[in-house]
A and B are shown apart, each in its own frame.
Chain A
Amino acid sequence: MIAIYTLWVRQLKRYFRSKSRIVGSLGQPILFLVALGFGLGPIFQAAGQGNYIEFLAPGIISMSILFLAMFSGIEIIWDRQFGFLKETMVAPVPRWQIMLGRTLGGATVAVMQGIIVFAISFLVGFRVESWSLLPLAFVFMLLIALLFTALGTAIASLLEDMHGFQLIMNFLIMPIFFLSGALFPIEGVPGVLEWLVKLNPLAYGVDGLRGTLGGVAHMGLFVDFWVLSIIVAVIIAIGSYLFSKIQV
């Protein structure tokens, strides 16, 4: 068990040590919040959908969690040949413990990032409806973080070098992000796209986060929580299996 703790602490130390990376990765979420929030805000309002900042902030929080979580997972590709990970492969520790420690570490770091973005969103006018649901909001953030850290780990276990990474980003992660309801409401989206959204785990995460932070959860918090939790459990299991099959 100490192996899980060791790997978790390692991820945290690495995160806190790199101040420039923390600030740098906040750039995009802030840009989206400000540019889209104030840019599309009036249009959203005029369309009768209400305050765009209220709608957008949970989506942007999810975005920052999503990308950081994926990166922690994908880091494995480099790590396993030139980093600490290779050393863990020959240590007398079962692989699943290594994977779990890394996943929890990556997810923790992603949630911390999400919380920073959450705090910053207050500066552009975001307000929380009911503070009582805040702990549940953190649960949703954690679930999203776990989902994408595990997914990144699973994918990285299959790739041998960084080239496939570009493909993954453009054809998997970007669509997942754009079709999750993070930036625009998913109701009323035409036919096929609506199905893709229903199959997108991030959509449940964003919906749940939005619901707990005071907006409306169109699919219902209960559904959001359970669908997301089950998918997270499945992806962690798959990721664990693929990780255990890595050949160094």
Chain B
Amino acid sequence: MESIIEIKNLTKKYKDFIAVDDITFDVKKGEIFAFLGPNGAGKTTTIKMLTTLANPTFGTILINGYDPIKQQEETRASFGIVFQDPSLDDELTAYENLDFHGMLYKIKLKDRKERIKQLLTFVELWDRRKDLVKHFSGGMKRRLEIARGFLHHPKVLFLDEPTIGLDPQTRNHIWEYLKKMNKEEGTTVFLTTHYMEEADKVSDKIAIIDHGKIVAQGTSQELKSQTNTNTLEEAFLALTGKELREEKPGAIDNMRQRSRMWHRR
């Protein structure tokens, strides 16, 4: 099985600390891959490097055979991403949000129209296509973003905490969409989550990062036997310890709080 993401000796150093410390792992094509880790472990930094939003200090990344630094446009065309915070335009309709994405990714009009219809129907938002996104609930926005992520037929879809804060029905539907697309279009799914049972149920492979290093890799079953535990959550705690991870809130956390005050979530 060929790899769609290859990471070798990836390192990210900031002035006073090492966020990502010489990590190496692969994600195979068509896998559902969960990337887990406590707060401050280096998860977000790794994803930023994978999605061309940050440059590594050392090491190599290949996504769909492309180098994110030297072949930025080709890399970007190869993946889609659903961020933790919604990145939709509230004052545009659901259809327009997808249409703009399609234009940015250079999809021709006819293909765009067909694909938008296909995906909006798929995430069950076709009859809400003319509504402004600001009238959507958190779950609807998330479903719309997933539709958008798949629009340009990416090889990999990155998802950062895709079901956080959502009700069980929506979470279930989202997992159905992801599994279906993974099966039908062969899209590799790369996700981060704090919901261990979710990772346990859906992922083919898991990697756990802590203090910038990969502390374990394998299937959920392998991790459980390795740590002699019964659930993935116990395995995770066994591997990363039970201490609380202190994190200084950044500007992003403050803005996220403000956003919750002023917007529907």
A interface with B by C-beta (< 8 Å) = 2-3, 5-6, 10, 13-14, 17-18, 78, 81-93, 160-161, 247-248
A83, B91: Cα distance in complex, Å:
10
* Number of chain B interface residues as a range: 35 or more
Q: Are B92 and A10 in contact (CB under 8 A)?
A: yes
The answer to whether the Cβ of B103 comes within 8 Å of any Cβ in the partner chain is yes
The answer to whether the Cβ of B89 comes within 8 Å of any Cβ in the partner chain is yes
Q: Are B83 and A86 in contact (CB under 8 A)?
A: yes
Q: Are B90 and A83 in contact (CB under 8 A)?
A: yes
- From B77, B87, B90, residue with most partner A Cβ within 10 Å: B87
Q: Tell me the interface secondary structure of chain A in the complex.
A: helix
Q: Are A84 and B53 in contact (CB under 8 A)?
A: no
Q: Are A90 and B89 in contact (CB under 8 A)?
A: no
B13-21, B188-196, B249-257: which lies at the A interface?
A: B249-257
Write out the residue numbers on chain A whose beta carbons fall within 8 Å of the beta carbon of B87: 82-87
The answer to whether the Cβ of B117 comes within 8 Å of any Cβ in the partner chain is no
Q: Are B96 and A3 in contact (CB under 8 A)?
A: no
In the assembled complex, the CB of B192 is this many whole angstroms from the nearest CB of chain A, namely 16
In the assembled complex, the CB of B74 is this many whole angstroms from the nearest CB of chain A, namely 8
In the assembled complex, the CB of B93 is this many whole angstroms from the nearest CB of chain A, namely 9
Q: Are A82 and B255 in contact (CB under 8 A)?
A: yes
Q: Are B106 and A92 in contact (CB under 8 A)?
A: yes
Given A89-B53, A92-B73, A92-B77, are A17 and B104 also a contact pair (CB < 8 Å)? no
Q: Are A10 and B76 in contact (CB under 8 A)?
A: no
B37-84 with Cβ < 8 A to chain A: 48, 51-54, 72-74, 76-77, 79, 81, 83
Q: Are A17 and B91 in contact (CB under 8 A)?
A: yes
Given A2-B103, A2-B106, A86-B83, are A247 and B88 also a contact pair (CB < 8 Å)? no
- From B72, B73, B89, B259, residue with most partner A Cβ within 10 Å: B89
Q: Are A83 and B89 in contact (CB under 8 A)?
A: yes
In the assembled complex, the CB of A46 is this many whole angstroms from the nearest CB of chain B, namely 48
A89, B72: Cα distance in complex, Å:
11
Which A-chain residue is minimally distant from B89 (CB atoms)?
A84
Q: List 20 A-B contacts (CB under 8 A).
A: A10-B89, A13-B91, A13-B92, A13-B96, A18-B91, A81-B85, A82-B85, A84-B87, A84-B88, A84-B92, A85-B87, A90-B51, A90-B53, A90-B79, A92-B76, A92-B77, A92-B106, A161-B251, A247-B53, A248-B53
B interface with A by C-beta (< 8 Å) = 48, 51-54, 72-74, 76-77, 79, 81, 83, 85-92, 96-97, 100-101, 103-106, 132, 148, 251-252, 254-255, 259
Write out the residue numbers on chain A whose beta carbons fall within 8 Å of the beta carbon of B92: 10, 13-14, 84
From A10, A161, A247, give the contact of B100 (CB < 8 A).
A10
Q: Are B104 and A161 in contact (CB under 8 A)?
A: no
Q: Are A83 and B88 in contact (CB under 8 A)?
A: yes
In the assembled complex, the CB of A87 is this many whole angstroms from the nearest CB of chain B, namely 5
Write out the residue numbers on chain B whose beta carbons fall within 8 Å of the beta carbon of A88: 104
Q: Are A90 and B255 in contact (CB under 8 A)?
A: no
A199, B149: Cα distance in complex, Å:
48
Q: Are B76 and A90 in contact (CB under 8 A)?
A: yes
- From B74, B92, B104, residue with most partner A Cβ within 10 Å: B104
A239, B159: Cα distance in complex, Å:
31
Q: Are B255 and A161 in contact (CB under 8 A)?
A: yes
From A14, A81, A93, give the contact of B252 (CB < 8 A).
A81
Q: Are B251 and A84 in contact (CB under 8 A)?
A: no
Q: Are B53 and A6 in contact (CB under 8 A)?
A: no
- From A10, A14, A17, A92, residue with most partner B Cβ within 10 Å: A92
Which B-chain residue is minimally distant from A13 (CB atoms)?
B92
Write out the residue numbers on chain B whose beta carbons fall within 8 Å of the beta carbon of A10: 89, 92, 100
Write out the residue numbers on chain B whose beta carbons fall within 8 Å of the beta carbon of A78: 255
A6, B89: Cα distance in complex, Å:
13
Q: Are B106 and A6 in contact (CB under 8 A)?
A: no
Write out the residue numbers on chain A whose beta carbons fall within 8 Å of the beta carbon of B255: 78, 81-82, 161
- From A13, A78, A87, A88, residue with most partner B Cβ within 10 Å: A87
Write out the residue numbers on chain B whose beta carbons fall within 8 Å of the beta carbon of A161: 251, 254-255
A226, B132: Cα distance in complex, Å:
43
Write out the residue numbers on chain B whose beta carbons fall within 8 Å of the beta carbon of A13: 91-92, 96
A220, B156: Cα distance in complex, Å:
59
From B76, B88, B97, B132, give the contact of A91 (CB < 8 A).
B76
Which A-chain residue is minimally distant from B254 (CB atoms)?
A161
Which A-chain residue is minimally distant from B79 (CB atoms)?
A90
Q: Are A3 and B103 in contact (CB under 8 A)?
A: yes
A178, B81: Cα distance in complex, Å:
45
Q: Are B259 and A82 in contact (CB under 8 A)?
A: yes
From A6, A14, A18, A90, give the contact of B81 (CB < 8 A).
A90
